[in-house]
C-alpha cells in the first residue's frame, strides 16, 4: 500500500521558516555554510517520503492512533514532523519543527 504525502499550508510555512532561520544564522557566522539550509530542507522532504510506505511505524503523538510524528535526524539534533494518516491513501504533514523548539502539539 502506498500513501500520498501532502504538506499542509502550516507545514509548508514551517519549511520556509526553518530555511530562513538557518540561512540567517549562517549569514551571521564567520564560517557560514550557505548550502546548509537547502540540505536541511532536502533532508526533511526525503525523510517524509518514508511516510508514503510506512506511516504507522512512527511513534504515536497523542490519543489518536492516526496522529504520529516522524523523527528526522540532521546534524547534532534534527527535526520532527507531526502528521496524520487521514485515510487509506493520504498522509498529511501538519507541522515541522526543529527538535529544540518548543512543543508544537
CB neighbour burial string for 47-81, b if at least 16 within 10 angstroms, e if fewer: bbeebeeebeebeebeeeeeebbbebebeeebbbb
Please state the domain extents for the chain.
Answer: 4-98
Residue 103: what pLDDT? Answer: 61
Q: What is the mean pLDDT of residues 50-61?
A: 96
For the domain made up of 4-98, the CATH class stated in words is alpha beta
Q: Give the pLDDT confidence of 61-90 residue by residue, as tens digits.
A: 999 999 999 999 998 889 999 999 999 999
pTM for the structure as a whole: 0.90
Residue 30: what pLDDT? Answer: 86
Q: Give the pLDDT confidence of 1-13 residue by residue, as tens digits.
A: 799 999 999 999 9
Q: What is the mean pLDDT of residues 17-30?
A: 92
Give yes or no for a contact between 86 and 92, defined as CB atoms under 8 angstroms apart: yes
Amino acid at each position: 500500500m502506498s500513501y500520498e504525502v501532502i504538506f499542509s499550508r502550516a507545514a509548508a510555512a514551517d519549511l520556509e521558516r526553518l530555511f530562513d532561520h538557518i540561512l540567517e544564522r549562517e549569514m551571521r557566522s564567520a564560517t557560514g555554510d550557505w548550502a546548509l539550509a537547502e540540505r536541511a530542507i532536502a533532508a526533511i522532504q526525503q525523510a517524509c517520503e518514508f511516510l508514503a510506505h510506512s506511516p504507522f511505524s512512527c511513534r504515536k503523538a497523542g490519543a489518536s492512533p492516526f496522529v504520529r510524528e516522524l523523527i528526522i535526524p540532521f546534524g547534532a539534533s534534527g527535526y520532527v514532523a507531526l502528521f496524520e494518516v487521514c485515510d487509506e491513501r493520504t498522509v498529511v504533514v501538519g507541522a515541522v519543527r526543529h527538535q529544540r523548539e518548543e512543543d508544537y502539539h
